[in-house]
Structure formats: structure tokens, C-alpha cells
Chains A and B, each alone.
Chain A
């Protein structure tokens, strides 16, 4: 098999497996997997910026929340139906990431990380400040009657699973396409050696801005779907914790690999699930895993797979 065929086989194989699992999994894990697919889509968005462009953001929760609130608020206050509400969420993420990127990309390295952290913190506080509309920390529920998309009731487990699957498949194939095209290859070049890429005549700023917008918009799409599928929008999704989680997923699964975000989200979800059954202090697990990854396996699972078994892994 050629490398291209192997790549297609792996990624479509994963999607086929996820379709099959819908019919096989018991209810509890079925629900979990739907959630994981949406979170993995968020991680894919994060990975486009961190893994492929080499820009470490500590503020992606603002994009996730932008999608979630862009969707949720337009349902709650403007009476939008799900389809336009999802589009509103995605558009909010697009606009926010464009504005944010134009400002934040004037910085680099550690300053960029802190700028992302600060903007996201401001975003979280803004949600609290407008508590009259957002109901702040408490959040608000999106009613079952408001979650019917084209006649499909998204509160039904099967419908919800396939909606999550559709989002995940779209994000996975999108990211695969992006990095196989010149734009994505240029992002990788910028990650590897920004100065060299510039001296080959590439507009580094424009490419990075493109990456921020793509990454922010995918993250917002995940946020919008999350709110719609699970019927809730709350400020906790805008906290620092939701900026750290995608970093953790991507580091664990393998930064700069297409399937890494899914692997990382899957592992982390069950790790936290098991740990929270044992102790209230389950976030300690997140700390330990982050620390161990940084110290001993900075390539993550996907990176190790690429180094040891599948050298063709994109």
C-alpha cells in the first residue's frame, strides 16, 4: 500500500469504527463517546494551531465559549432554530479569532501565551459581567423543544451520536485536507523554522493569522455543537481549565498528528471519569499527566507511533 492509501485507510477506518460503535456500545459509553467526539473536534481545532503551526495558546476556551454562547444566546434571546444558531456560533468564533489573531500575533513565544491567557480571562469575565443575559456561572439550559434540527430531536441518543460524529468526521477530514495542501505544509514550515519560511517568500503573518482563524473557528464549531447537543451553556466552559484541557489532549495524543487529538481526548476523558469516581481531587490526574508528558514523552502517543511504527502518520 502506498503511504497515501495507508493514511486514507487509517482515518476512514477510525470513522467506520465510530459508526459501528454506535450500534455496539452500552448506553453509558455511547453517551460518553458522543461527548468525546465533540471534545476531540475542539482538540483538532487546537491542534491546527499548536501542533501544526507551533503556536501555543492558553486561551482557546474563549473560542469554544464563543461558539457555545453565539449558538446558545441566539437560541435563548433571538429565538433561532438550531441550524442558524450553529452558524451564529461558528460566525462568532470566526469574527473573534480574526480580531484576536490580528492583535495577538504581534507577539511571539511566551508573550503570545500570556496574551492568549489574558484575552481568554477577559472573555470569561465578560460572560460573568453580562450575567443578565448569560446567567453567569449558573449558565442556562437549552430546552428539548429548541433542539430539534430539521425534524431530528437531538436529545435522542442516536441522533445526538450521529450529530457528534458528523462534526468530528468533518473536522478530521478538514484537518487532513489542510495539512496535505500547500497552506498546511507552509504552516508546518513556519513551525519548524519561521525565519527560513519568511526568507522563502512566505507571508508568515498572514499564514499564522489563517491558522488562528481556522483553529478558532473549528473550536467554536465544537463549542456550538457541545451546547446544542448537551443542552447547556455555562461560564465554566470559558475558564482557564477549558483552555488547558485541549492542550493536554493534544500533548497526550500527539501534537501535530491528525488522530492525536481524538486519542488524547478519549484517554483523558476516561482517566478523569475513573479518577473522579475515586476522589474529589480528580484534577490532580490532569496535573500528573501534563507533568509526565512534558518530562518523558513530549511527542505524545501519536508522536511515538510515528517514530516507532507508522512513519507515514500525518
Chain B
């Protein structure tokens, strides 16, 4: 079953075409990686999925319903979660409260679910610390914990491994595989190692258009993709 799909999705910024005519389908339960060179329109594309940006044209459907006109918070309530590319946590609140805000919105059990989400990303010992005092890598993990605590059906992660140490990246890969049982995952990722190890399928964006789509080995072998990345095309 298709959880998320777009038809003809496009975004212009004052004449500059950031995303152009994208048809995209994401089946339920899949881990999909979205890759592409810098400026390919990846963040713009997912911004339109979760309602942070208004498309210039096109439709977005989630779970069979057209959500093109819904504001961001209503899309989140349908079961999407989004972690920001540039870390965005509540810096002056504790890690507990950061995650609790995610739990409370869907009337979950704060006392049990907050520690569980923090432990799952490896921040169990930092529950009372201020989010702003955490290292950059830990803040990224906190964002993922907030994403988990929303119990989303679709989790959109925008470059989650940026700034993580090697050991944290290993733990992240395990976490993603573990999560795939509960949620569909759309992963924007630069780290090819992570993409190859986690994704079921890969979509490549280039100049705002879908360049290729396939399994990780197919994408690795694709000449057009190599050209886009290496600039030899």
C-alpha cells in the first residue's frame, strides 16, 4: 500500500526552479533514502511533504487522502514526523521536556514514554540536562528521540547523521533498521555508507527532478547518478 505520494509537485523561488514536476510514491513500511548533490532540492521537497513550504504546483497524498492544503501541524497529526536538517531543539528546556512535548501532543504517557525514547537513542543518562548544553551530535539524537516519541507512521529524517561520530553512526544504522518495523522512513542522507546499509530503495534528485530510483546496488551502478555526483556528465 502506498503511504505517501506526490503528483507534479513543484516549487519556484522567484523564478528559480527548486523542485520540478516530481511524481513520487513511498510504500508503507519501506526505508527510502533521498539523495542528490547539494542544491538538488531535497530539503525543499520534504518541506512540501510536511507542510513547511507551500508548493507552486502539484498534489501531496498521505494514506490515500489529499493533504495538499493542510497546514503543517495537521499533517503532523496525521502521523508524520520531521527532524530538521539544522538541529532544532528547545535549547533552554531539558531533554525530558523536549521529548515530553512530543509525547504530550498525542496524549501519551509522559512518565514511561519519555525515558524510553531517550534510552532508545542512547541519551537515557541525559534526561535532566538542558538541550542547549548537549554536544551537536547529542542534539541530533535528541531530535530523533522527539521524532520517535511522536510514534509517526512516516518519519522524515533530514540528514540525521551529519555531525555524528563513527560509533554514533553505527548505533544510528541499527536504530533505523529496528524502527522500520514500526514506521515508514524517508531519509535524506549524504553518507553513502548509511544509505547502502539501511535503505530498501533510493531516489536520486538532481536539479529538482527525479534522476533515478532503484535499489541501492542499482543506484550505485547507475551511470547518470555517477555523472551527477562526479560532475562528468
Question: A residues bordering B, Cβ < 8 Å?
Answer: 182, 185-186, 188-189, 192-193, 195-204
Question: When A185-B101, A199-B82 are in contact, do A204 and B89 touch as well, CB less than 8 Å?
Answer: no
Q: For B92, what are the chain A residues with a Cβ–Cβ distance below 8 Å? A: 192
Which residue of the partner chain, among A185, A188, A193, A202, contacts B73 with CB atoms under 8 Å?
A202
The digit string for B100-144, where 1 denotes a CB below 8 A from any CB of A, is: 111011100000000000000000000000000000000000000
Q: For B81, what are the chain A residues with a Cβ–Cβ distance below 8 Å? A: 199
Q: For A185, what are the chain B residues with a Cβ–Cβ distance below 8 Å? A: 97, 100-101, 104
CB-based nearest A residue for B77: A201
Instruction: Say if the beta carbon of B91 comes within 8 Å of chain A.
Output: yes
Question: When A193-B88, A195-B88 are in contact, do A200 and B93 touch as well, CB less than 8 Å?
Answer: no
Question: When A188-B93, A189-B93, A189-B101 are in contact, do A200 and B88 touch as well, CB less than 8 Å?
Answer: no
CB-based nearest A residue for B156: A199
Question: B residues bordering A, Cβ < 8 Å?
Answer: 50, 52, 72-73, 76-77, 81-82, 84, 88-93, 97, 100-102, 104-106, 146, 150
Q: For B101, what are the chain A residues with a Cβ–Cβ distance below 8 Å? A: 185-186, 189, 197, 200, 202
Q: Which of B91, B93, B101 counts the most chain A CB atoms within 10 A? A: B101
A192 to B130, CA, bound (A): 13
Asked whether, in the complex, the Cβ of A199 is within 8 Å of the Cβ of B93, the reply is: no
Q: Which of A182, A185, A193 counts the most chain B CB atoms within 10 A? A: A193
Question: When A185-B104, A196-B84 are in contact, do A204 and B73 touch as well, CB less than 8 Å?
Answer: yes
Q: For B97, what are the chain A residues with a Cβ–Cβ distance below 8 Å? A: 185
Asked whether, in the complex, the Cβ of B72 is within 8 Å of the Cβ of A199, the reply is: yes
Asked whether, in the complex, the Cβ of B106 is within 8 Å of the Cβ of A201, the reply is: yes
Once A and B bind, how many residue pairs between them come within 8 Å at the CB atom? Answer: 56
Name A's interface SS: helix
Question: When A182-B104, A185-B101 are in contact, do A200 and B150 touch as well, CB less than 8 Å?
Answer: yes
A195 to B52, CA, bound (A): 9
Question: When A192-B92, A193-B89, A204-B73 are in contact, do A199 and B105 touch as well, CB less than 8 Å?
Answer: no
Q: For B91, what are the chain A residues with a Cβ–Cβ distance below 8 Å? A: 192-193
Asked whether, in the complex, the Cβ of B150 is within 8 Å of the Cβ of A201, the reply is: yes
Question: When A186-B101, A199-B84, A200-B105 are in contact, do A192 and B93 touch as well, CB less than 8 Å?
Answer: yes
Q: For B50, what are the chain A residues with a Cβ–Cβ distance below 8 Å? A: 199
Asked whether, in the complex, the Cβ of B93 is within 8 Å of the Cβ of A196, the reply is: no
A196 to B93, CA, bound (A): 13
Asked whether, in the complex, the Cβ of A198 is within 8 Å of the Cβ of B93, the reply is: no
A182 to B103, CA, bound (A): 11
* 14 A–B contacts, CB within 8 A, in A order: A185-B101, A185-B104, A192-B90, A192-B92, A193-B89, A195-B52, A196-B90, A197-B101, A198-B76, A199-B52, A201-B76, A201-B150, A202-B105, A203-B73
CB-based nearest A residue for B146: A200
Asked whether, in the complex, the Cβ of A189 is within 8 Å of the Cβ of B90, the reply is: yes
Q: Which of A186, A192, A199 counts the most chain B CB atoms within 10 A? A: A199
Q: For A195, what are the chain B residues with a Cβ–Cβ distance below 8 Å? A: 52, 84, 88
CB-based nearest B residue for A186: B101
A200 to B50, CA, bound (A): 11
A19 to B100, CA, bound (A): 38
A203 to B150, CA, bound (A): 15
